[in-house]
Amino acid sequence: MADIEEWSANANEAVRICLWRPSKEGPVALGPPFNAQFTYPLYGEDEQIFGYKGLKININYRANDMRPVVKVSYQAKFDAVGDTEPADIMTPLKENLPDIAFSGYPDFVENTKKLSLENTWKPAGELHATMQDGSHTYEIWKGTLVDPGIKQLVARIQLLPLLFIEGGSPIINPKFDAVDDRWTVWSLYEKDEDGYSFLGFSTVYRFYYFGKRIDPPPPPGTRFELPVGDFDLGQLPSRARLSQFLILKPYQSRGLGTRLYKTMFQYYYDNPLTRQLTVEEPNESFDDLRDMCDLAFLLTLPEFRDMSFKQGIKLDMKGLLPELVDRKAVDALMEKSKIVPRQFMRCLEMHLMSKLPESVRPRLPTEGKSKNKPTADDKFIFNVWRLFVKSRLLVHNVDVLGQYDLGPRLVLLEETMDNVQFDYIRLLNKFQRRAQRDKPKRRLDDDDTEDASASKKAKVEDVEEDGTSI
């Protein structure tokens, strides 16, 4: 056992990402290397690599075009004994990186010098947006896999989702030439006098959108004519599914994830052919970013801000739950916002919670109790809000809850409700802090009039903070 431990390395500690800026003298390190967060897709569930001492697997990336080169070093290698032999380090990397990643470090250095001397490189795709933040200039570029430059970029960086997104997977095989124009790649760069630095990216897949039938079906015997010649399938209504989202670790905690997500959301919101924007299996950290950005967007819509519970609600616990909100208005706004039902309802529940009377509005334990004594009306509207949220949770978790008898089912529903309520408190507090922090400050010589144009920016507490994704 001692020998096995002596020759075993933690794969997350061994795999390191190094970013290098081009210069005429060769690559210049942009900072210390940073470790992989997950390596089980490469080296197994235990994330251990056997057979080496002092193992370092450096995956070097040129910071502008993300050309990779792999450099492996170790102090000693285990001599195979029978069936016990050192783990295969290179094959998992070769399955997820293009051949150029294994061309050797000297070639990487010489090619980097040449690229720096030419000084003509620019990102693949088309420039979509430019943003200024103090002395920093950021650009967002987008393109589909039909673009050879975009395909090359994806082949180079798609190892990163495996290392930093739990459950991440490649979207192309670098060994094959197949492309799919339904994949759109969004890339975030910082631009300065020395050129571009790649900061992060997101991928979106376009599905055909099966909307609701509005017109009556055609009469029997109706003949349909297929389009003649080439037909652009991109002109059909679609659902855009955000698949991967990653800000590189050195650039986290700068609000960049929020900038990228909001830019993408606005694009699909403005695109008449996109009917919905959804997310593929978001993790908890990305959920925060998404909740904050979606809530900030919805609060720009007057019809969302004005939503409240119906007047004159009467609760009869022996009968069915009455309609608590104007369902037609909710459905219409859900369709307009292009936010999928569950996500829209979460934002609506948070918004309605924020409008509860102060005396009954849920608070964190550290905030203490309200100084105001709740009235009967206050308690009633709080119970209405709880029932409103529970009704969605009951439908969403019907398969799980249906496995329990009525008593345990109600207990489990109540526990789920309490967890959701706590999460909403946390998110709303964060949202309000960000909105207050980002509110423009008046100078002492300004008058006392509030700036009507002051924007509420929902900067997420820092999924950029952990950078990750989906």
Q: Which of 149, 216, 160 is CA-nearest to residue 18?
A: 160
Residue 280 annotated in active site? yes
Yes or no: say if 324 and 310 are a contact pair by the CB < 8 Å rule: yes
Summarize the annotated binding site for acetyl-CoA as residue ranges.
Answer: 245-247, 252-258, 283
CA distance 102 to 98: 8
Summarize the annotated binding site as residue ranges.
Answer: 245-247, 252-258, 283
> What would the DSSP string read from start to end of 262-297?
HHHHHHHHH-TTEEEEEESS--HHHHHHHHHHHHHH
Cβ count near 175 (within 10 Å): 10
Q: Which of 165, 164, 469 is CA-nearest to residue 289?
A: 469
Yes or no: say if 138 and 199 are a contact pair by the CB < 8 Å rule: yes
Query: In the chain, what is the straight-line distance between the N-terminal and C-terminal CA atoms, in Å?
Result: 37
Collapsing DSSP to helix, strand or coil, 20 comes out as strand
Give the active site residue among 280, 358, 367, 465: 280
Residues 6+ apart with CB under 8 A from 272: none
Counting Cβ atoms within 10 Å, is residue 346 exposed (0-12), middle (13-18) or buried (19+)?
Answer: buried
CA dihedral 128, 133, 136, 142 (to 10 degrees): -10
CA distance 430 to 435: 9
Question: Distance from CA of residue 400 to its chain's centroid?
Answer: 27
CA distance 392 to 427: 19
Counting Cβ atoms within 10 Å, is residue 113 exposed (0-12), middle (13-18) or buried (19+)?
Answer: middle
Catalytic residues: 280
